[in-house]
Amino acid sequence: MATSTATTATTTILPSPTSTSGCTLNTCAIDSSFYMYQIDLAPNITFLALFSTFLLCFTLTYLVTGRWPSFWIAMSLGLISEIAGYIGRILSYGDQWAETGFLMQIICLTIAPAFLTAGIYLCLSRIVNAFGPEHSRIPAAWYPRIFIPCDIIALILQAAGGAMAAIALSNATSLDTGDNVMIAGLVFQVFTLLVFIGICVDFGIAVRRRRVRDRKDKKAGSTTARLPWQLKGFLVCLGVATIAIFWRCCYRVAELNGGWTGPIIYHQDYFVWFEGFLITLAVAVLVLFHPALCLREPPEPAKGFDYTVVEQGS
């Protein structure tokens, strides 16, 4: 790795393909490779197998139910990106100085969660309609109109930054510009997720207050509406997925903020836990509690708990 330091900034220049041509683990130091550590094949194969299985599960669920096509498309695009990223890492295991595998994993794994968050954002408007749009500060239809474009902006910035970094890598020039654009996309994604979490918490508090008030006001002997266990599980899992992706994005910001030779990026354990594990957790819980299985189709525009509750004792 080569870094040239000015008085006010550090410029990161990774080795060019020509300067490391013919390098192997026996002929070159590992810290001269793109990764600066020897890739462990086991976790990468595991994540590849898991994400491939998740993609199959989402596809089968859509084919069987025919519901939530937009959610299926968003999750599938995210999982395909994850799969491509881990294929890149597995290819790099054979040659850690090769450019192709390195670029595949850094670009695909960086942008993949933007597709996954799009799937999560699509769920919120349905949840708001289910529990009562009167509790939301924003009309239910506006949630995807606000958050999906924000997600697209984050995705474009991350993809553009990755492309700029790829060009710089091929030319053996500074990666700093591409790095900064990718960081901008990740920071915007973190901000969007933070706003989304805040809105969800605010809506949840309003619904909770309404339910407490309804319990106090109910007449003696009347039935009490309760949430089905599928819906409870879905709400919990949606929260887990959102927080997992949020923390993963925070990790990526910290990682890239240190540069391509920074103190975080060359720790493989950090990558396994804060990238691989967190995204696996986020997707796995949504496979188990898929909205097509947990949210019923309303016969008409919902208000309150008209289609997501059952009567006690039923």
Using CA atoms, how far apart are residues 177 and 171, in angstroms rounded to an integer?
A: 14
What average pLDDT does range 271-285 have in this prediction?
98
- DSSP helix/strand/coil, 35: coil
| pLDDT > 50? residue 309 | no
Q: Say what percent of the chain tops pLDDT 70.
A: 84
Architecture of domain 37-216+226-295: Up-down Bundle (1.20)
Please tell me what DSSP assigns to residue 16: P
Position with higher pLDDT, 254 vs 21 = 254
Average pLDDT, the chain: 86
Q: What is the pLDDT of residues 254-266, one digit of tens each?
A: 999 888 778 898 8
| pLDDT > 80? residue 99 | yes
Write down the pTM of the prediction. Answer: 0.86
Measure the CA dihedral 303/308/311/313, to 10°: -170
| pLDDT > 50? residue 20 | yes
| pLDDT > 60? residue 302 | no
Phi/psi of residue 179, nearest 5 degrees: -60, -45
Q: What is the pLDDT of residues 176-224, one digit of tens each?
A: 899 999 999 999 999 999 999 999 999 999 998 887 777 777 654 444 4
Of 181, 177, 178, nearest to 154 (Cα)? 181
Using CA atoms, how far apart are residues 113 and 41, in angstroms rounded to an integer?
A: 22
Q: What is the pLDDT of residues 29-73, one digit of tens each?
A: 888 888 999 999 999 999 999 999 999 999 999 999 999 999 999
Taking the alpha carbons at both ends of the chain, their separation in whole angstroms is 66
In sequence order, what DSSP letters do the residues of 202-245 get, joined into one string?
HHHHHHHHHHHHHHHHPPTT---EE--HHHHHHHHHHHHHHHHH
Using CA atoms, how far apart are residues 75 and 120, in angstroms rounded to an integer?
A: 9
Please tell me what DSSP assigns to residue 39: P
Using CA atoms, how far apart are residues 66 and 228, in angstroms rounded to an integer?
A: 22
Residue 6 has a pLDDT of 40
| pLDDT > 50? residue 313 | no
Residue 4 has a pLDDT of 42
pLDDT category at 14 given cuts 50, 70, 90 is: low
**Number of Cα atoms under 13 Å in the Cβ half of residue 81:** 20
Q: Where are the domains of the chain?
A: 37-216+226-295
Of 283, 143, 133, nearest to 203 (Cα)? 133
- Cβ(252)–Cβ(110) under 8 Å? yes
> How many secondary structure helices (H) and strands (E) does the chain include?
9, 4
What does the block give as tokens for 153?
Answer: 């902006």
Phi/psi of residue 222, nearest 5 degrees: -80, 160
Residue 173 has a pLDDT of 86
